[in-house]
Amino acid sequence: MDRRSVLMGMGALALAACDNPSATSSTPAPSLGALDLSALEAINGGRIGLAAHDLASGHRLASRGVERFVYCSTFKMYLAAATFLRVQAGEERLDRLIPITRADMINHAPVTEPAIGTSLTVEALMKGTVEVSDNPAANLLLKANGGLDAMRAFYQGIGDTSTRVDRFEPEMNRLDGDKDTITPLQSVANLKRLFVDADTPLSGEHKDKLLGWMFASPTGEGRIRAGLPTGWRTAHKTGTGGYGPTNDIGLLYPPSGEPVVIAIYYHATRDSSDEQNEAVIAEATRLALARLGRA
């Protein structure tokens, strides 16, 4: 039996988990169910963190939901949101030009490297950061926004007091204690705050533009997108570390009705392939949707 068949068969055992209501605030919260992904971990090694919130039923699921995972490039979606808030406050302009120099270059620069010696707009840097995860673009935006302290302030402004912001690209991808980490439950809460809640700080125009980039992103085809039922689509942001971390976060949209907000962080083993790691994300997506009755 091949590895994928074993993964599919044993992964189904995760559906046996039971709901455990959990109050996470002073107001009544939807039930928080435990999703047991230990079978996937046993087959593939590593550690899987997942949180999901079904906006149709209100039900939520989590596996290692309060454990910390290095977020890698998933933060770039939040960086773009932070930049939009600066634009809305009159502190930035989408059409402002930022010079691109050879000194800015680090690994993975599909948008910025061809622009060396010229300039790109803030909006072009944001789009490149979200759609194709351009690393120099992310660093340039971080600096333009005011550095790491400004990013910390952004998280706090949307009610997130736990996510760590410690380093620029590419150092932030290196596992070092709690540096540059997030929990799956916090990431889902942040996504809901930005894209779902009526009092989102994002304007309608900017929310739609950011979602558009997330829908258009070609990265991580084998991750969340590969685990969706026919007719579903995702607005998502991936993140990858060179030594195992394989992440994907976003909103899952059925053909009709309310979406599911999801965050999956997989800290894989060093010897696993990118394809294997992506398959784990896809299977975790399938299991979560099945548990929510959305498969």
**CA pair distance 149, 139, nearest whole angstrom:** 14
* Active-site residue (options: 31, 38, 57, 73): 73
Between helices 122-131 and 204-216, what is the axis angle to 10°? 50
Token pair 């971990």: residue: 41
- Non-local (6+) Cβ contacts of 222 within 8 A are 275, 278, 279, 281, 282
Instruction: Classify residue 145 as left (phi > 0), alpha (psi -120 to 50) or beta.
Output: alpha
CA distance 282 to 193: 25
Residue showing tokens 């091949």: 2
Q: What is the CA radius of gyration of the chain?
A: 19
Give the SS3 label for residue 38. Answer: helix
* Residue 217 annotated in active site: no
Q: Which contiguous run of DSSP H or E holds residue 288?
A: helix 274-291
User: Distance between CA 66 and CA 223 in Å, rounded?
Assistant: 22
Q: List Cβ neighbours of 67 (8 Å cut-off, separation of 6 or more).
A: 47, 49, 183, 184
The 10 Å CB-count burial string (b at 16+, else e) for 205-223 is ebbebbbebbeebebbebb
Supply the residues annotated as catalytic. Answer: 73
